[in-house]
Amino acid sequence: MKNFPIALLIFSALAFTQTERELAHIHVHEWGVLTWNNGTAVLASVPAAPAPEQYFPGQSQDSGEVLLRAPVLYFHGPAFSGTVTVKTANGSIFDIYPPVPDEDRDNSHVSWTADFSYDPIEEYPDFHGMAPGEWNYDLWRIDSPLSITRDDGWADKFLYYETAPATTDFLPYRPGVESLCDEYMDIEAILIKNTEDHLVYSHCTLRDIVYGGDIEDLEMSSNGILGILYGWSVGSIDFEEVDVLWNTWSSWILSENVNESAYSNGLVMYLIPAELTENLSIIGVTTDTPHYPIDISRYLLVAMPL
């Protein structure tokens, strides 16, 4: 009888572990920004992104040159081995990291097979040049996501791809559109304008922008915009991941975009509704044993000319 409490504790611990395993989910967090007209959102001295036509001649686009820039994928949850696939039926995938064999990619899909674990990465891979420009990989290597390793010795903390959408007609609001569907009227937006040689920003709705509303100009504040972006991320991606996004894009959003002709009237940012993101790309994860449920949270911003 004296051993009964110990046996009960062991049984309870095993039962809890089993329940915890059954409830465990793999969480995929993605962030990226959709830009128009070759936005120069790079962190190195590359002057501009190449046009999609340089990669896939003859590809038509309804709103000028549009790129989904720097979608970065992080993985959280239990360790697992498996394959991550990104597909698009809208345009082309024209850049990826890390590279994969030709049989694992084409213009419309890419697949990475790897181990995802809590093992620390002692040495990151050498820099790999990428088509649109030289991104600062070090910035994206945050601690919280799972480490990703492959049989060939490659290891990092994220996966990366870019796409050149053929059409953006699924978006609630895009350049040239003069009306909104009722369901998207109240989507929050950030409006940035260059007024008398200084930037101002506004926190408003798409309704306010399209149909006119009481839009208050505020003194430019990086922290103010970041606070709005945090609010949009609740229940989606981690604050640390929003920080990485903002540190990647803030110099372009707050300075460089005002020098681009397409953005001369201002810049509008909003979060693409979750139900519309698969019009840009579809993310899939298949796991070897053990099998876990997959939750995918996508934080894709529009940064469009006003």
- State both tokens at 306: 């006003």
**Whole-number pLDDT of residue 226:** 96
User: What does 162-218 look like in DSSP terms, one character per residue?
Assistant: EEE-S--TTSSS-TT-----GGGTT-EEEEEEEETTEEEEEEEEHHHHHH------E
Report the 10 Å Cβ neighbour count for 202. 19
Q: What is the pLDDT of residue 255?
A: 75
A 10 A CB-CB count for 192 gives 21
∠ Cα 251 259 206 (to 5°): 75
- Over range 34-51, report the average pLDDT: 45
Which residues, listed in sequence order, are joined to residue 286 by a DSSP beta bridge? 83
- Check residue 13 and give its pLDDT: 41
pLDDT score, position 48: 33
Please give the pLDDT value at position 135. 65
pLDDT at residue 238 in the model = 97
Cα–Cα distances in Å, from 69 out to 34, 121, 213, 276, 301?
6, 26, 31, 17, 10
What pLDDT is stored for residue 252 in this prediction?
A: 83
Where does the pLDDT of residue 160 fall: very low under 50, low under 70, confident under 90, or very high at 90 and above? very high
Residue 17 has pLDDT above 60, yes or no: no
Most confident of the following: 164-168, 257-261, 283-287: 283-287
pLDDT of residue 285: 97
Mean pLDDT, rounded, of the chain = 81
Q: What is the pLDDT of residue 127?
A: 58
What pLDDT, on a 0 to 100 scale, did the predictor assign at position 39? 44
Q: Provide the whole-model pTM.
A: 0.83
CB of 187 closer than 8 Å to CB of 220: no
Q: Where along the chain do its domains lie?
A: 25-305
Q: What is the per-residue pLDDT for 223? A: 95
Tell me the average pLDDT across 17-22: 42
Give the Cα separation of 222 and 162 in Å (integer). 26
Could you give the percent of the chain with pLDDT greater than 70? 78
pLDDT value at residue 116: 97
Does residue 130 surpass a pLDDT of 80?
no
Alpha-carbon span 140 to 193, nearest angstrom: 29
Say what the pLDDT of residue 86 is: 97
254 DSSP β-pair partners: none
- Positive or negative, the CA dihedral 74, 151, 115, 143 is negative
Mind listing the pLDDT tens digit for each residue in 70-86? 899 999 999 999 999 99
Q: Which among 130-134, 180-184, 237-241 has the top mean pLDDT?
A: 237-241
List Cα–Cα distances, 139 to 35, 105, 185, 231, 242, in angstroms. Answer: 20, 26, 35, 22, 12
Predicted confidence (pLDDT) per residue in 210-269, tens digit: 998 889 999 999 999 999 999 999 999 999 999 999 998 988 888 766 666 677 788 999
DSSP state for residue 287 in the 8-state scheme: E
Strands 26-36 and 66-76: antiparallel
- 228's enclosing H/E stretch is helix 222-233
pLDDT tens by residue, 90-114? 999 988 889 999 999 998 999 999 9
